[in-house]
Amino acid sequence: MRPSPLRRVLLLTLCLVSTGCVHRIHVTPVPTSAPSSTIPRDLRVTLSPIALEGADHRPGITFLDWPHRDLTQGILDYLRQRGTFASVSPESGDLSLHIVTKLALSSRRGLYHYRIILQADMREASGLIKSYLTEQIAAGSSVRWVTASDRHPIETALQSALEDLLGKIEADRSLYLNDTTRSPS
């Protein structure tokens, strides 16, 4: 028995929607300024899985796939390029920065808005030194037809959030200097 033409159309539509319309996000945030101060210590960076929030505070964002590996690599590359720390690695460092990332999508005044929230904890072996919270929003287009309509505002919001986070960390430089990195008075 052959499937009916209507059934074929429905199956084809389902296949296209489930595979062809997903916006796979790849971001490459780049520092727009040099660090206001440097911290001569090695930084270990860890990230929690990305939390995605769609309209009406629902979990997930329809047709959006932002792999954790891509976010991690984007943040590591940003931190290395910025040059705030002596070195940045996901494996080792005498300071540890743990980042929780949330992306929320909303629609206002006919445009999609992408809000990135970064919650970060800076630690040493002895424990928590300081926590940071930053939130940045970027406006996108009025439609989400192509991947670029999601990628560009997400990258803009992430880059702004990282600039804000690193500015706060650099302002707290004295908290992160240990006895071997402090200059003599």
pLDDT band at 179 (very low <50, low <70, confident <90, very high): low
More confident site: 37 or 13: 37
**pLDDT tens sequence across 35-68:** 999 999 999 999 999 999 887 667 777 788 889 9
143 found inside a domain: yes
Full-model pTM: 0.83
Buried b (16+ CB within 10 A) or exposed e, 133-155: ebebbbebeeebeebeebbebbb
61 found inside a domain: yes
62 found inside a domain: yes
Q: Tell me the pairing of strands 95-108 and 64-65.
A: unpaired
How many distinct structural domains can be found in the chain?
1
12 found inside a domain: no
Helix, strand, coil share (%) of the chain residues, nearest 5? 35, 35, 30
**pLDDT tens sequence across 124-145:** 988 999 999 999 999 988 877 6
Q: Give the C-alpha separation, 82 to 30, whole Å.
A: 8
11 found inside a domain: no
**Amino acid at position 157, single letter:** A
120 found inside a domain: yes
50 found inside a domain: yes
Range among 54-63, 90-99, 147-156 rated most confident: 90-99
Domain that holds residue 114: 23-176
Q: Tell me the pairing of strands 127-139 and 39-47.
A: unpaired
71 found inside a domain: yes
Domain CATH code at residue 84: 3.40.50.10610
